[in-house]
Structure 1
């Protein structure tokens, strides 16, 4: 696609920052809209994904410092003044997943607005990150590399400078003595959340040999023989394993093995992906629905697993993976609440989102314990998981899975 990707100047950022700070002094905090139980008619997978997209765009996507060509996702809704300014807490990897979901939507149905949003979100990440496209964290950079590679491959929306920087940083982070990349630069923790997306990105960028080594590391160093699931990470030197099991660790491992199975034709990668899908179905689902998370970072875990279950179903024909995605999508949709007609998902897709006793009132979602018991979440991460799931469900449905 022939389109210029303008960089933002430091002067522009500083001037806009001053204006934004001045505006937030007099701005009023946002309020939640009217939260009700689901009320829209039964609709198809594409329409569900479309409504999930609309919900996040309406509640979370804002211009950075008043610059319409630079957008980011507000991390909470309703947002306080600091969050609304987009100058507070910085979650690079949440923004990378927001961008990836925007790419899903444009691939589902390409429109000028969706393409503009992809450019604006990518520019927003570059501008807000200050240090360029890269940072110290290899999981962050892996996620963004995956998103931008998909934008180029699926939509011909290219960020060649970004891809060069990210690819170089991921390769530079390689520790040949360990055979993997760490969580962050200079750290001794080699964890699945960094190794998995780095491996997927490198495989798609032609670095199949390195990606294969990363898959071997996960299989030989972090796989639990008893459960078949993948642990969180290992400290090197020393070999101390963090045996925590996260849903998204399974997702990225399935994604990496699927990518390698498709690219190399080696049966071992197909078998590993299928075996891990079976372990997920047995141990990390309830009635076939992906296990619940909490808020904050863990809010993304379910959606990431759903994305890569869909990938292995589409690429390798895994019917168990497809069934988990479909069951999870049905549950998440059935148990949603609605705000002004748009979905609000819970962190637990098996439980209904509880609405206020008086549906016409505004709910601020400020009490964390009360919000948790009601399956309500203010976090962008939780809503992104719902959107990611519904896009995955749509892709499987149209492909006949």
Structure 2
């Protein structure tokens, strides 16, 4: 059974392992850090030859989690260095051609500014402008996955909606609402309540085909966007959608309350992202509507059970624990090489620690 601050301690251990094994300067530039793609890093990884822009956004998000758990100047300095590292490695600016990448970095930078005081207003302006410009009427609306592409998907529209909602400006809130409404209309499976990946569009704007893959992080950002919008009106509408998705996740994407993994590479982040937004849902739903305690408790349970399983099935390596991509089975060093997989585990533990310090029941079922 988890005891007082045990989950915070576990998150701290995961944090230190990532710091020790993955953080490296960018091309030797002072005052910069980025996460090496794999551990042990090959020569090209030490040089950050593969940037993995959106992995770095989640590294930054996890570092902000760590700061909120235990604020100190060392963590703040590291966050500042990673922000600078992202800008240096991206070379030409803060953005790239992928709207999902840009939205993920925007979310992390919003939190760094709000919670840590590390401010990059020019970055947030550039990201907001790109996300606003990413909306077109093709397929009835929505934001593209990538510039000059034919694909619109939940991994771009979900985080973009959360980012725009958190801007808390009238036009951005309206766009966030329209974005989630578009996802709901076009990309939610009526039978399961889960969000598909995305859809392809003909040049004339008509839908060509659907990509009906089910990914955990698509559910996470849909839950996150609905919970964020519930803070700004039409509470029942948005919380109804969040509740439906949380229930569907529990029923179809978890084994004995533990979220399913989706491999290494990019998939290593997917379940961790879902735990982030489940934890926020558990806290916010309780605050906004105490009558929805069953939904909030389901979200809490998924986070706690997943965190317990990730910790129980860790393996030990140099500088600390190593998590696997599938939290229900013992981790191996081979499967845990990717930074993404380690960030997924760390993110899950931070989500559980967030519930712990807010006084929720964190004893595993």
TM over 0.5: yes
Q: How far apart are 1:220 and its partner, in Å?
A: 0.8
In 1, the alpha carbon distance for the partners of 2:6 and 2:51 equals 35
Contact 2:226 2:242 in 1 (8 A): yes
1:113 aligns with 2:74: yes
SS at the partner of 2:193?
coil
Partner of 2:307: 329
Q: How far apart are 1:42 and its partner, in Å?
A: 11
With the length of structure 2 as denominator, give the TM-score of the two structures.
Answer: 0.91
1:195 aligns with 2:157: yes
In 1, the alpha carbon distance for the partners of 2:15 and 2:235 equals 37
SS at the partner of 1:69?
coil
Partner of 2:292: none
Partner of 2:363: none
Q: Which runs of 5+ in 2 are unaligned?
A: 287-295, 361-365
Partner of 2:266: 297
Q: How far apart are 1:107 and its partner, in Å?
A: 1.2
Say if 1:264 and 1:247 are closer, same or farther in 2 by CA, change over 3 A. Answer: same
In 2, the alpha carbon distance for the partners of 1:397 and 1:84 equals 36
With the length of structure 1 as denominator, give the TM-score of the two structures.
Answer: 0.83
Match of 2:180 among 215, 230, 238: 215
SS at the partner of 1:66?
coil
In 1, the alpha carbon distance for the partners of 2:319 and 2:257 equals 28
Q: Give the 5 Å matches for 1:35-114.
A: 44-86=6-48, 88-114=49-75
Partner of 2:224: 255
Q: Give the 5 Å matches for 1:4-43.
A: none
Deviations 1:49-100 (A, max 9, x none): 10000000000001111123011000000111111111x1121000000011
Q: Which runs of 5+ in 1 are unaligned?
A: 1-40, 355-364, 366-370
SS at the partner of 1:234?
strand
Q: Relative to total residues, which structure has the larger helix share, 1 or 2?
A: 2
In 2, the alpha carbon distance for the partners of 1:327 and 1:265 equals 31
In 2, the alpha carbon distance for the partners of 1:262 and 1:216 equals 16
Q: How far apart are 1:113 and its partner, in Å?
A: 1.0
Aligned residues: 341
Contact 2:99 2:145 in 1 (8 A): yes
Q: Give the 5 Å matches for 1:274-285.
A: 274-285=243-254
RMSD across aligned C-alpha pairs, in angstroms? 1.5
SS at the partner of 1:220?
helix
Say if 1:199 and 1:43 are closer, same or farther in 2 by CA, change over 3 A. Answer: closer
SS at the partner of 2:13?
helix
Partner of 2:256: 287
Match of 1:154 among 112, 115, 122: 115
1:394 aligns with 2:356: no
In 1, the alpha carbon distance for the partners of 2:345 and 2:166 equals 25
In 2, the alpha carbon distance for the partners of 1:213 and 1:124 equals 34
Q: Give the 5 Å matches for 1:157-176.
A: 157-176=118-137
In 2, the alpha carbon distance for the partners of 1:340 and 1:313 equals 34
Deviations 1:220-270 (A, max 9, x none): 100001111000001123321110000000000000001011222431100
In 2, the alpha carbon distance for the partners of 1:212 and 1:244 equals 24
1:313 aligns with 2:313: no
Match of 2:215 among 226, 232, 246: 246
SS at the partner of 2:33?
strand
In 2, the alpha carbon distance for the partners of 1:130 and 1:264 equals 40
Q: How far apart are 1:400 and its partner, in Å?
A: 1.8
Q: Which runs of 4+ in 1 moved over 6 A?
A: none
Q: How far apart are 1:397 and its partner, in Å?
A: 1.1
Contact 2:20 2:319 in 1 (8 A): no
SS at the partner of 1:248?
helix
Say if 1:213 and 1:43 are closer, same or farther in 2 by CA, change over 3 A. Answer: closer
SS at the partner of 2:279?
helix
Say if 1:313 and 1:124 are closer, same or farther in 2 by CA, change over 3 A. Answer: same
Partner of 1:382: 341
Match of 1:182 among 113, 135, 144: 144
In 2, the alpha carbon distance for the partners of 1:69 and 1:80 equals 22
